[in-house]
Chains A and B, each alone.
Chain A
Amino acid sequence: MNRRWFWGRILSSIGVLAAVLVLNFILFRIMPGDAVGTIIDPNFSPEAKDRLRELYGLDKPLLEQFFIYIRQMLTFSFGLSFLSRKPVWDELLSRLPGTLFLMASSMAFSAVIGIWLGIKAALNRGRLAERIVLRAGAITASFPGFFVQLVLIMLLARTFPLFPLRGSVSIPQPTGAVSVTLDYLWHMALPVISLTLMGFGGWALYVRNLMVKALGEDFVLMARARGLSEGRVIYGHAFRTILPPIITILLMSVPGLVSGAVITESVFSLHGVGTFLLEAVSGHDYPSAGASFYMLALITVISNLLADIAYGIADPRVRVGGRDQ
């Protein structure tokens, strides 16, 4: 593995994280003027305000506050939530798996379906499969995800009650590990289906364009000339070559995925970081809001880094470097 490239990626991830940390700090402390004025209820007595200032470390100089804040963020000690009076980290920890599951499964489904359809479309130029892919890709970009989800709820949870209307678990919750898992999957089905529905079109269009280009390349013709089977030519040669750009789009889709998860969670009232952020923002719970934003940004940065590394593994031109670079 090309060391310089690898450390460069790590360094740039750290840079993005640092920028997020600074942004988060500035947003919550400097922007709204007097921090106490906005963070703490203005109706408190001056003594109570001072006590709270001390409690949240707001009486210290800004630079010191900044270092304390950085330490807190890096050790995940986010303090107590204003709303629930529980540690923010505990709250986040209970919600993180749901959000990650939602993101990962919808991404996996839309990527797999999209890639498969994209390849099909590229192989069947001018036929129905290609026309579907071209349309789906263009239309899903103009549909607000939450609208599609609302319509799906109306159809599949209300008119034909196949899925639950809202929530991550049934109330009361079933007993037994198997039924708990099944119940959870049943609740997650519609969110994941809707996100997949919104996501696969873009993937398919992208993969189709890459694949059409790859199939026209000399090396594909040469692979055919070598008497290789169509499957080997398409998957072993053409598809392997477009794997690096596919990983790039994976990387670029993560921020959008996070945004999608946030909205989806509130449409379906799921137990996740997104709903937590929304509650925190609407309830002026600043420690929770800051921490959830930080967590979501962290998810993005980490997945970007993973995608970068995967890209390097898939594309020898990056990994080994050479005269073309």
Chain B
Amino acid sequence: MTYILRRKSVILLICIFFAGFIGPALMGGHPSDVVGAPFARPVWWNSQLPLSSEYSVGNDGAVIEWKKLPPEIFALNGKITADPGSRVRIIWSTTEGDMLLDTLEGSGIYWINMDGRDMIFKQKLGLPLIGKSTEHLFPSNGRYEIRIEGASETDLILSLPGGRQGLLGTDQRGRDILTLLIYGIRTSLTVGISATLIASLLGLGLGLATGYIGGWFDSAVMRAVDVLLSIPTLPIMMVLAGLWGKGLWQLVLILSIFSWMGTARSVRALVLTVRESPWVEGLRALGAGRGYILWRHLVPEAAPILLANVALGVPGAILAEAGLAFLGLSDPRLISWGRMLHEAHSFGAFTEGAWWLLVPPGLGIVALCLIFMDIGRYLEEKIDPRLGSAKNA
């Protein structure tokens, strides 16, 4: 079995597996945490855009040297303590003059929660209500300063999330795409593998049963296979997802109901040929029971086929899961690649031109599918060496 570990696709799959199941634990933080501005680009894209930065603002204020395009968001949060009698002024001194952000009076403690995107904030400063306030707060490159006047103790944080954030940028809510992508691995792998496993076991069981029992049972199951193969599966899965709910395990169940047919067919064909073979007839003549023949001879015979079938079936399940999630028929709390594409599609990735919302999950799906296809083909060739040469002949 060690030769299989040398296959590149297998090594890659193992890496992805670890990234998906251990990665989340190492990363810390939750994927739904907002870490940056919405639609922030990947850090390696367009270096004109600033990275996110944070400044702690004390009594002396803070000085900022700005050399990039304006940040996406201007947010000031924290606490100011002052003598109730004195008047506190927060001043933003720009290259083109000072702006009075706020005047505070009549209390001992002030909680500051300022966001440049608020309408009230824009109104107060007399900025246009439509458009980014940061373009007016950062009119050009140069020296900026935030000053607090009249405070006895200042404990503020000025955060300036930039247009670049994280290795793969952020989505429409400012969540980190890389984190989402890594959390999505788990969903894709879980759904893909478990749905295919269940479907294959179902197919194995039904294939063995139909091949061995035959008669009306065989024809009934084979009719069902014909029917299921000639119904468009996506619509019926959509209906089922709508009726049964959209949870992870409902999805697995729905997918496995519609993907056992192929396995059942090939196992049945195998059983039919093996059953007629001289050595099984010999066994029967020796008095071996049905169960014995099934378990000792047919199952081992079917196992390698099943293994290849599982590997070749996973891409289909992953694609189907992604399709349903893309249509919005998955649990919104469940992070998956299809869901990411759904959100990108529904929440303005196109108006923003945010390709970084589309490409990582899409390529993730493609990569996983290609990996499983490769493993499946490899297994198939190992089982039946003629296949490999026949395909290229």
| Interfacial residues, chain A to chain B (CB-CB below 8 A) | 12, 15-16, 19-20, 23, 27-28, 31-32, 38, 138-139, 141-144, 146-147, 150-151, 153-154, 157-159, 165, 252, 254-259, 262-263, 266-267, 274, 277-278, 281-282, 284, 289-290, 292-293, 296-297, 300-301, 304
Contact = CB atoms under 8 A, between A and B. Distances in A.
B315 A142 contact: yes
Interface in B233-265: 233-236, 238-244
Given A15-B223, A20-B231, A255-B233, A263 B323 contact: yes
Contact of B241 (A19, A165, A254, A281): A281
A32 B242 CA distance: 11
A150 B373 contact: no
Interface in B340-362: 341, 344-345, 349-350, 353, 355, 358-359, 361-362
A252 B261 CA distance: 14
A258 B243 contact: no
B234 A147 contact: no
Given A12-B226, A19-B227, A38-B243, 17 more contacts: A16-B231, A23-B236, A27-B239, A31-B244, A143-B369, A150-B344, A150-B345, A255-B230, A258-B232, A259-B232, A259-B234, A262-B235, A263-B323, A267-B345, A282-B242, A290-B239, A300-B232
A266 B373 CA distance: 28
A292 B223 CA distance: 24
B116 interface: no
Nearest to B355: A154
Contacts of A20: 227, 231
Contacts of A262: 232, 234-235, 238, 327
B323 A300 contact: no
Contacts of A284: 242
Nearest to A295: B235
Contact of A147 (B226, B227, B233, B366): B366
B329 interface: yes
A270 B230 CA distance: 25
A154 B358 contact: yes
B350 A158 contact: yes
Contacts of B239: 27, 277, 281, 289-290, 293
Nearest to A139: B370
Contacts of B326: 144, 146, 263
A293 B235 contact: yes
Given A255-B230, A284-B242, A143 B235 contact: no
B10 interface: no
- For B241, B353, B366, which residue has the most chain A Cβ atoms within 10 angstroms? B366
B327 A278 contact: yes
B315 A141 contact: yes
Contacts of B223: 15
B238 A281 contact: yes
Interface in B305-348: 315, 319, 322-323, 326-329, 341, 344-345
Nearest to A257: B232
A267 B349 CA distance: 13
Which of B242, B328, B349: most chain A Cβ within 10 A? B242
Contacts of B366: 142-144, 147
B323 A282 contact: no
Contacts, number: 135
B229 interface: yes
Interface residues of B, number: 43
B365 interface: yes
A159 B351 CA distance: 10
A231 B349 CA distance: 50
B235 A144 contact: no
Nearest to B229: A255
A139 B315 CA distance: 12
Nearest to A263: B323
B238 A278 contact: yes
A149 B21 CA distance: 30
Contacts of B341: 146-147, 150
Nearest to A280: B242
Given A144-B362, A150-B341, A282-B328, A277 B238 contact: yes
A144 B362 CA distance: 8
A15 B227 contact: yes
A147 B230 contact: no
B350 A165 contact: yes
Given A142-B369, A255-B230, A301-B230, A27 B243 contact: yes
A157 B345 CA distance: 14
B243 A28 contact: yes
Given A141-B373, A151-B358, A16 B238 contact: no
Nearest to A296: B235
Contacts of A12: 226
Report, nearest first, the 10 A-B pairs whose CB atoms are least far apart. Answer: A259-B234, A258-B232, A281-B242, A147-B362, A142-B369, A255-B232, A19-B227, A296-B235, A142-B370, A293-B235
Contacts of B349: 154
